[in-house]
Structure 1
Amino acid sequence: MNSRLAAPVSLPTLSAVPALPAGGVIGLIAPAGSCEFDLQSATQWMDARGYQLKVFPGVWEKDGYLAGSDTVRLRDLHDAFADDSVDAILCVRGGYGCSRLLENIDFELLRRHPKPFVGYSDITALHVAITRYAGFVTFHGAMLNADLLAHKQPPTESSLLRMLSGQQPTLLEHPTAYPLTTLAPGVAQGRLIGGNLSMICATLGTAFELEGQGSILFIEDVNEPLYRVDRLLTHLRQAGKLGQVRGVLVGDIAGVDVQRLELLLRQELGPLNIPVLAGWRSGHCDPNITLPMGALVRLDADNQQLVLEQEVVLKAQF
């Protein structure tokens, strides 16, 4: 194990990060897969919203299915956090590759330079690791290419920018066009953890596995048939993780029949006797609502609400 790997963070509440200021700089990195995108469109998108874009070198590289070598992608991750001119970090895409970086991340460096870090899908590996070893809130939210430049529905952008700038109300808004389903009633409070179900399971048995005790588990996925979702949930249960959590928020499981998925979820999660709320539009979906990973939240399955119980970003005081 790398000697820079800090002891796991056991704080009841993770630290908030500095808010993205008006006119701030957003650093763009590619810690997973490679991606072609229009730099002019990306710059115009940022300019139109009052932000500056700083693209780190590895974004332009390609190493097979990866965006540059592990060395290049790790360097960009470290440089983006260490660069005091960068106010927030946005991933260009997911794909695969983040788990290859984990054992060499300098988490002490990240602790010294906390800032909003945004992504989903394969980026889940980084969310889980930062929650465990760096101790500050990160954001499961829109990425540049698949979400922002793809012009997903307005809540995608607005929920991201409100969250990062400190304008997010305590009650997280969910689009009424996409009804939620209470699979198990109740109310629970805990640290919001999780992300992509496949990536969560890939951390099990490693130094970076999910810390589930007393948490609210969020799961989402894409391109996984129902039997694989079944297998992943069974893996989590047999690893003891489902028995640790206080509630479950189910995001979008793209490509699976909703009725059959709900039956499976009731079978797997019902015996836990904890609140379960399904249909939350976060993940590989449109819209894609931003969630604060590691933050203390209250899941109210009875009223179908998710409520922030702590500040997730801190505005500068003048």
Structure 2
Amino acid sequence: MVNKIGIVSLSSGILGESFIKHELEIGKERLNKYGIEIEFLPNALKGVDFIKNHPESRADDLLTAFKDDSIDMILCAIGGDDTYRLLPYLFENNELENIVKQKIFLGFSDTTINHFMLNKVGVRTFYGQAFLTDVCELSNEMLPYTKKYFEELITTGKIKEVRPSDVWYQEREDFSENAVGTDMEKYTNDGFELLSGKPVFKGKILGGCLESIYYVFDNTRFNDTVSVCSKYNLFPKLEDWKNKILLLETSEEKPAPELFRKMINTIKKYGIFDVLSGVLVGKPQNETYYDEYRKILLEEISNKDLSVVYNLNIGHATPRCIIPFGVDAEVDVCRQVIVFNY
């Protein structure tokens, strides 16, 4: 049972900006209704500019949250684009490894990189939701599917199984106070889709946002992502991916099909698709490029024995489930379920 949540801004500092104060208040009220104490780590609310210019302060917050035994769960405010900058402050002198302990860590998007950091030091984490995007949802309640998994995590500390959502939502464009209490348009969801391979497969899951993973291998966004990530051996070695399941999902930037193909090919060159037991792919936001991405996955993943499952409700398409990393999982597309064995 989670009694206290520590909220961290490890990527973007938007949580500290005045224009989202109404969202912040909604989130605080919802967590308080669960009887959960909330602690915003010292730098979490210092705003976009401070957070951008002080990666060492972001790293301090993460270390503080792990050191504080009263904090049961570390919840990321939101994603962003440069959390790789925390690497030197967490790994130069084994800072993270020296203090880390197993506790709930939840986030998605650029937080993918933080999941890889924690994977390096043996911590099992949870992927798929964040404070601002999910707990602070502007509807009168958290989205039912999202809420179900969040409640399971805060009450049991685990996720037992994941099934598809019955619906998916058109993303909000208005996050102002005027949008409080308004609902998003929703559509029928089709469930898990097997693109290739066997419908049943097993393995521990790791992965996240495709763009975040791509920038580990490519300097398009920042000129030092490749050198920094490689210096600290962020991305697991090929042998460490053997019999694992890779999770991939795309961001709200809705990458054009040409870029999607390039990103898939970049990780393909690493050799990863030759050693995995399966791949899980999230629904693209608003189903933009749904068919194009599907076609590219079929064309570029040349290992046709590899199980590839599409259309998971995870990451940047709402609603969102939560997927445990580092836990034995069995995917069964026939039964439309992923079961986790702790």
TM-score by length of 2: 0.78
> Structure 2 vs 1, CA of residues 65 and 252 (structure 1 numbering), >3 Å: closer, same or farther?
farther
Deviation of 1:280 after TM superposition, in Å, equals: 0.3
CA contact (8 A) 1:275 1:299 kept: no
CA contact (8 A) 1:82 1:109 kept: no
Match in the other structure for 2:118: 130
Asked if residue 304 in structure 1 is aligned to residue 316 in structure 2, the reply is no
Q: For each residue in 1:207-227, what CA deviation from the matched residue of structure 2 results, as whole angstroms up to 9, or x when unmatched?
A: 101442210011001211111
Which amino acid in the other structure matches residue 27 of structure 1? G
Q: For each residue in 1:223-263, what CA deviation from the matched residue of structure 2 results, as whole angstroms up to 9, or x when unmatched?
A: 11111111010001111122221101111222632112211
Matches within 5 A, 1:28-47: 28-35=7-14, 36=17, 37-38=20-21, 39-47=24-32
Match in the other structure for 1:56: 41
CA contact (8 A) 2:149 2:159 kept: no
Unaligned runs of 5+ residues in structure 2 are 168-188, 218-225
Distance in 2 separating the partners of 1:294 and 1:168: 12
Match in the other structure for 2:97: 108
Given candidates 231, 246, 249, the residue that maps to 1:220 is 249
Given candidates 145, 157, 179, the residue that maps to 2:147 is 157
Deviation of 1:126 after TM superposition, in Å, equals: 0.7
Which amino acid in the other structure matches residue 194 of structure 2? T
Which amino acid in the other structure matches residue 250 of structure 1? V
Matches within 5 A, 1:220-299: 220-222=249-251, 223=253, 224-254=255-285, 256-269=288-301, 271-299=303-331
Q: For each residue in 1:137-183, what CA deviation from the matched residue of structure 2 results, as whole angstroms up to 9, or x when unmatched?
A: 10112211122212452111220220343276633232133222111
Higher alpha-carbon deviation: 136-145 or 197-206:
197-206
Q: For each residue in 1:4-30, what CA deviation from the matched residue of structure 2 results, as whole angstroms up to 9, or x when unmatched?
A: xxxxxxxxxxxxxxxx43xx0100110
Match in the other structure for 2:196: 184
Q: For each residue in 1:102-129, what CA deviation from the matched residue of structure 2 results, as whole angstroms up to 9, or x when unmatched?
A: 2321232343x32101100000001012
Higher alpha-carbon deviation: 24-33 or 253-262:
253-262
Match in the other structure for 1:200: 213
Q: For each residue in 1:276-308, what CA deviation from the matched residue of structure 2 results, as whole angstroms up to 9, or x when unmatched?
A: 111001001210111111221112234332111
Residue aligned with 2:241, SS: coil
Given candidates 132, 135, 144, the residue that maps to 2:131 is 144
- Identity within the alignment, %: 23
Unaligned runs of 5+ residues in structure 1 are 1-19, 311-318
TM-score by length of 1: 0.84
Which amino acid in the other structure matches residue 263 of structure 2? L
Which amino acid in the other structure matches residue 69 of structure 1? H
Which amino acid in the other structure matches residue 9 of structure 2? A
Distance in 2 separating the partners of 1:175 and 1:63: 33
Which amino acid in the other structure matches residue 12 of structure 2? G
> Structure 2 vs 1, CA of residues 273 and 65 (structure 1 numbering), >3 Å: closer, same or farther?
farther
Residue aligned with 1:96, SS: coil
Matches within 5 A, 1:85-96: 85-96=70-81
Deviation of 1:188 after TM superposition, in Å, equals: 1.7
Distance in 1 separating the partners of 2:61 and 2:53: 10
Distance in 2 separating the partners of 1:183 and 1:40: 42
Distance in 2 separating the partners of 1:90 and 1:183: 33
Q: For each residue in 1:32-53, what CA deviation from the matched residue of structure 2 results, as whole angstroms up to 9, or x when unmatched?
A: 1111343433321111122111
> Structure 2 vs 1, CA of residues 63 and 171 (structure 1 numbering), >3 Å: closer, same or farther?
closer
* Greater helix proportion: 2
CA contact (8 A) 1:197 1:220 kept: yes
> Structure 2 vs 1, CA of residues 166 and 234 (structure 1 numbering), >3 Å: closer, same or farther?
same
Match in the other structure for 2:182: none
Which amino acid in the other structure matches residue 217 of structure 1? L
CA contact (8 A) 1:182 1:304 kept: no
